[in-house]
């Protein structure tokens, strides 16, 4: 006879019926099936939809255990069932909503009984398999119905960062082999850091291994911080007026080939670059007191494009010291002022007052999620500017080494430990104390790696130390929702 049930995770479901034949008509995932004759096991196996079993002897009862909640339809009898439920048209339909929290996420699971699925989202998204992103996924427009005609799981990518909450209670140290004190650390890939200082090079987070550029076979001088673009690492090199030189660097900090040189305006002097999903952008200054710096867009196989930012500097030269890209806009550091630019750099606005951005330290840009932190020096005192939607400066009670955010709190680190504020920076509480007073004495930085929060605590006892903290996805507010219609056999 037919048995229909909903299995609960790791709960045993008993079928008290004698028989010799078993057929799994439908299920959502595999489960464990045990056939008993008294205390004797006649069968103990994982099964999936469509499994058909004929035992050599009669069983008295069945035990079923599933790791997940799922609906199961089972034929148990002394007689064989000659009926293939999977060959019929779908006869069940379910509607439900899936909340999406940003980036790549599974929205439906594998179900062998599934005939098809229709998805609708009010947000532009990309559909694909595991690891889908905006580069390898198939784009789907907002409010467009996507039809999926298989039992395979569906992954969706939303171009929004995942909001995370830090777990400062489970911090672990990561020892590195870097034996000098760097002034700047930046994240290039999930597992690779660039450190700039007396001994510049690369640190692999997973092992702590440091590869010094001084020990590599470099005949060219690297300029500034490298960037990650199209799953490769690039750096400016060999500064020369009227020329942009880009060199690709492998994971070990060595050249992957000779630099590619681009001839540009004869007075242009490169100073910095950034990368978007689309191209690399290089900016700089002019070798002239009246020149106006440009921004160059570079992508292999395409013509080099130039833009002149619409920023009024009067009779003074336009000198761009730093360029960043965040949430669809470019940010330029010009004469210690910060500008947000869009529309091909035609629309540029100063986003902080002159007094707030005075003596801006461009080389101390930190990032966490969709925020950027800017370190400034005013009357020899350090402060932090948070580039959020309100563009509100945040003050700190002690001298910070760096600041960062999660979805709920503002954090900053000093030589004593990591402090957090839940009231927008009005007050801070010490969340974790550094045991060694020397830890944190050098410039701090913070970044995310595979959902883990990594903080550079500083240089102590002859080596650079990193500290890793866990994080969890903040599920209070989804970035998008999917309406799902699922048809099954």
Q: In the chain, which residues fall in CATH 2.60.120.770?
A: 92-160+479-488
Report the chain's terminal Cα–Cα distance, integer Å: 18
Q: Extract the tokens encoding 376.
A: 């400034």
Q: Extract the tokens encoding 342.
A: 């869009």
Q: Extract the tokens encoding 258.
A: 């000779």
Predicted pLDDT of residue 21: 92
Predicted pLDDT of residue 467: 78
Task: Give CB contacts under 8 A, 24+ apart, made by 435-438.
Answer: 436/460, 436/461
Under DSSP, is residue 422 helix (H, G, I), strand (E, B) or coil? coil
| C-alpha triplet 297, 301, 302: angle, nearest 5° | 40
- The CATH class that applies to domain 92-160+479-488 reads mainly beta
The residues of the chain scoring below 70 in pLDDT are 83-89, 170, 182-184, 214-221, 224, 251-253, 287-290, 327, 336, 352-394, 401-402, 435-453, 455-461
Q: Extract the tokens encoding 337.
A: 């002022």
CB contact set of 365 (below 8 Å; sequence gap of 6+): 322, 324, 372, 373, 374, 375
- Write the CATH number of the domain with boundaries 2-87: 2.60.120
Predicted pLDDT of residue 362: 38
- The CATH class that applies to domain 216-351 reads mainly beta
Predicted pLDDT of residue 359: 39
Predicted pLDDT of residue 148: 94
Q: At 486, give phi and psi (nearest 5°).
A: -115, 130
pTM flag (> 0.75): no
Predicted pLDDT of residue 22: 93
Instruction: For residue 413, count CB atoms less than 10 angstroms from its CB and return exposed for 0-12, middle for 13-18, buried for 19 or more.
Output: buried
Cα separation of 288 and 268, whole Å? 9
Predicted pLDDT of residue 434: 72
Predicted pLDDT of residue 364: 43
Cα separation of 83 and 429, whole Å? 67
Q: Extract the tokens encoding 389.
A: 């939607």
Q: In the chain, which residues fall in CATH 2.130.10.10?
A: 216-351
CA 247 → CA 227, 259, 269, 284, distances in Å? 11, 4, 17, 17
Predicted pLDDT of residue 380: 42
- Range list of β-strands (E), 292-442: 295-298, 305-307, 320-326, 329-334, 337-342, 347-350, 360-368, 371-378, 381-386, 393-394, 402-405, 410-413, 417-421, 429-433
Cα separation of 124 and 158, whole Å? 7
Q: Extract the tokens encoding 469.
A: 């903290």
């Amino acid at each position: 006879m037919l048995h229909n049930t909903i299995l609960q995770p790791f709960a045993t479901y008993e079928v008290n019926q004698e028989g010799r034949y078993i057929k799994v008509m439908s299920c959502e995932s595999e489960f464990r099936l045990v056939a008993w004759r008294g205390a004797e096991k006649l069968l103990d196996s994982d099964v999936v939809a469509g499994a058909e079993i004929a035992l050599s002897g009669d069983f008295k009862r069945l035990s079923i255990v599933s790791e997940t909640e799922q609906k199961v339809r089972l034929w148990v009898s002394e007689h064989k069932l000659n009926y293939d439920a999977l060959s019929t048209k779908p006869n069940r339909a379910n509607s439900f909503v899936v909340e999406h929290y940003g980036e790549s996420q599974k929205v439906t699971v594998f179900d062998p009984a599934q005939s098809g699925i229709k998805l609708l989202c009010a947000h532009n998204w990309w559909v694909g398999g595991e690891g889908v992103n905006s580069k390898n996924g198939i784009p789907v427009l907002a409010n467009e119905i996507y039809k999926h005609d298989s039992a395979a799981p569906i992954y969706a990518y939303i171009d929004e960062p995942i909001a995370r909450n830090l777990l400062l209670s489970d911090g672990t140290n990561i020892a590195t082999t870097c034996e000098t004190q760097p002034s700047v650390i930046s994240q290039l890939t999930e597992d690779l850091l660039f450190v700039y200082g007396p001994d510049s090079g690369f640190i692999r987070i997973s092992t702590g291994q440091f590869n010094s550029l001084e020990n590599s076979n470099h005949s060219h001088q690297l300029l500034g911080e490298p960037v990650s673009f199209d799953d490769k690492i690039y750096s400016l090199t060999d500064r020369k007026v009227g020329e942009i030189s880009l060199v690709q660097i492998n994971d070990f900090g060595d050249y992957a080939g000779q630099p590619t040189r681009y001839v540009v305006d004869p007075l242009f002097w490169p100073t910095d670059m950034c990368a978007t999903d689309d191209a690399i952008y290089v900016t700089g200054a002019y070798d002239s007191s009246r020149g106006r710096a440009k921004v160059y867009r570079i992508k292999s196989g395409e013509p080099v494009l130039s833009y002149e930012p619409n920023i009024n500097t009067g009779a003074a030269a336009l000198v761009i010291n730093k360029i960043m890209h965040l949430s669809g806009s470019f940010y330029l550091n010009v004469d210690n002022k910060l500008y947000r630019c869009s529309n091909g750099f035609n629309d540029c606005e100063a986003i902080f007052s002159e007094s707030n951005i005075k003596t801006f330290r461009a080389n101390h840009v930190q990032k966490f999620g969709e925020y950027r932190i800017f370190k400034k020096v005013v009357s020899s005192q350090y402060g932090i500017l948070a580039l959020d939607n309100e563009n509100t400066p945040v003050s700190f009670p002690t001298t910070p080494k760096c600041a960062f955010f999660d979805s709920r709190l503002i954090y900053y680190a000093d030589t004593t430990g990591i402090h957090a504020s839940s009231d927008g920076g009005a007050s801070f509480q010490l969340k974790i104390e550094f045991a060694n007073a020397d830890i944190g004495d050098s410039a701090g930085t913070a970044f995310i790696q595979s959902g883990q929060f990594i903080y550079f605590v500083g240089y102590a006892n002859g080596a650079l130390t990193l500290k890793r903290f866990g994080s969890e996805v903040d599920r209070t507010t989804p970035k998008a929702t999917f309406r799902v219609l699922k048809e099954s056999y």
